[in-house]
A and B are shown apart, each in its own frame.
Chain A
Amino acid sequence: MAPGIQLRSTLSRSVLPDVTEEQLIYVLLEVSAQGVPTTMPKLPLNLCLVIDRSSSMRGERLQQVKEAANRIVDLLSEDDCLSLVTFNDRAEVVIASQRVRNKVDLKRMIGGVEAAGGTEMATGMALALQEIQRALVGRGVSRILLLTDGRTYGDEGRCVEIVRRAQSRGVGLTALGIGNEWNEDLLETMSARENSRTQYITSASEIAQIFTDEVKRMHSVFAQDMQLRAEMRPGARLRSLDRVRPFIATVPVTEEKDLVWATNLGDWPGSDPQAFLLEVVVPSLAVGDHPLLRLTLRYSLPGMNLLNQEGNVVLRIGVRQAASVGYDVDVTVKHWLERLVAYRLQAGAWQDVAAGRIEDASRRLQMAGTRLFEVGDVDLAHTVQDEATRLLRSGQTSAEGRKRIKYGTRGLMGGETQEREA
């Protein structure tokens, strides 16, 4: 197959009955680039590692982090900038933002990090933003890679503020939580914007692989300033837009003008397949073929000094007499929708818990578990059902259970759900 960027759309049903009411249709949009990343010149990286060195990190955790950081040094070159910030009760710059030249020196500085003290993440994030901005030049891929194992006290709002400032300047955040004590809601909130992601690390032995994957992902970024626009036909509307690959995330969409919705997607790493699920409300239509919506993808190719490249696809549907239209639904669309439903159900369950509706929460988790069985995620389904039972019996949730469920249903756990293009 010739290298190129592919926009592939699949409808839950491409033939609808001619009813007088509105109908719902699901659109799976898959965006992929095959061969393109290897033909593009690599963009320079600007990476800041922000590492929690509180006393709970003592031993294997910090050891693995240092090992992983060394591997990152090996993967970077003179074109890339690296900085390292550590934090406990205070924060310090261990490696000031600099081009990766003297690798031996950098590794020595990494080696000197020791674990002690408490956790105050905001000061670490502030220093990270400072170091990242030092190296910000015209083009490149900038990321803050954060790893923490505990709760930060009192400064959670500040952490979110700082990261939003970073994200508005094109600096992404990858937030890793290890163990059971960190605040999964905080890391999820911090990474709920473009160029950002979060991950749950269950064992220190995963750290090196995850750090390496992050650098490889950054190196595979070939397009930036991705924007997706959906233009609906009159009478139709976009009910929701969610990312489903490489992980599940609600995508913030703005209504640019009547019938036009747009969202910024940030950098495009060639190594990750991207897919989105749209819920579209279709107005009553006469028998015949009708265009439903146009999806436009806009992006820049900084490696070739090209801005505002565009491609689009128009989705059409056929409307036939109701009696002749079956209920067949595309399996792939249904599969991703089912994963999304499981995610939404568990999200609703935690809201129920927060409001004290324990039975409702347990029921929602049970339903989420059923959906997970259906999509074949048996281990996660068991985890969800165990938590539902625990909740019903004791009225409490478990720290590990919550994390596994919140992150597992989104596909954000360890290397288990990493998908690789052949």
Chain B
Amino acid sequence: MNGTIFCSECGATLITEAPRRETTNALSRTIDGIPTVVEDGPHTVVPAPPTIAKASGICLVVINSGRRITLESGEELLVGRKDNQRGIYPDVDLGLDGGYDAGVSRRHAIISPSRKGYMLEDLGSSNGTFINSTRLAPQTPTLIAHGDELKFGTLILRFEIA
């Protein structure tokens, strides 16, 4: 329903917003020492026009540690876990964030730029890749948007376009 802020099934945020406080102040009076409840005045606010930012790179925020991974846009990025023995060096190494425990595969997924925006593709990982809790079919690049929650195994990251 229009106006819902969080999905009632999975709790994901349904809006991308620029927050601004809109509360009104209440006055209070007492009459003869007896406290009375005073109502708020009516208050309508016209929202400010949205600011437009130029995209210059992307950022992945690891939810459980708060680590921000800033990346240059323009190239394909491999998301996974570093493995020196096998010579696997992902651009986004989630081994640093408990990726092993969270079931992140060494070669888990790819984030790539396209004309339409950024695409996320699961590389046949063991524990799956999710966008806002919807599991991706392997080898099926899917569009991701600023604010989306990406999950690799059970490791959650937020995708941001700087």
Contact = CB atoms under 8 A, between A and B. Distances in A.
Nearest to A34: B28
Given A4-B38, A311-B37, A392 B154 contact: yes
A263 to B, nearest CB: 17
B85 interface: no
Interface stretch (A104-112, A162-170, A230-238, A331-339): A331-339
Nearest to B30: A4
Interface residues of A, number: 79
Given A320-B46, A330-B21, A364-B10, 20 more contacts: A1-B28, A3-B28, A3-B35, A13-B3, A14-B44, A15-B47, A23-B2, A23-B3, A297-B37, A301-B34, A312-B39, A317-B44, A326-B18, A326-B47, A326-B48, A328-B47, A330-B23, A331-B20, A363-B10, A392-B154
Contact of A334 (B2, B12, B19): B19
Contact of B23 (A8, A22, A338, A389): A8
A9 to B, nearest CB: 6
Contact of B19 (A9, A36, A329): A329
Contact of B36 (A311, A364, A369, A389): A311
Interface in A1-41: 1-17, 19, 21-26, 33-34, 36, 39
Contacts of B38: 4, 6-7, 311
Contacts of B83: none
B47 A26 contact: no
Nearest to B1: A24
B35 A33 contact: yes
A163 to B, nearest CB: 31
B139 interface: no
Interface of B: 1-6, 8, 10-13, 15-26, 28-30, 33-40, 42-50, 63-64, 66, 101-102, 133, 149, 151, 154, 156
A11 to B, nearest CB: 7
A389 B155 CA distance: 10
A381 to B, nearest CB: 7
B34 A10 contact: no
B37 A10 contact: no
Contacts of A297: 37
A282 B3 CA distance: 10
Interface stretch (A92-100, A180-188, A190-198, A302-310): A302-310
Contacts of A314: 39, 42
A2 B28 contact: yes
Contacts of B20: 328, 330-331
B28 A9 contact: no
Contacts of A388: 154
Contacts of B17: 327-329, 334
Nearest to A311: B37
A10 B49 CA distance: 21
A103 interface: no
A342 interface: yes
A367 B133 contact: yes
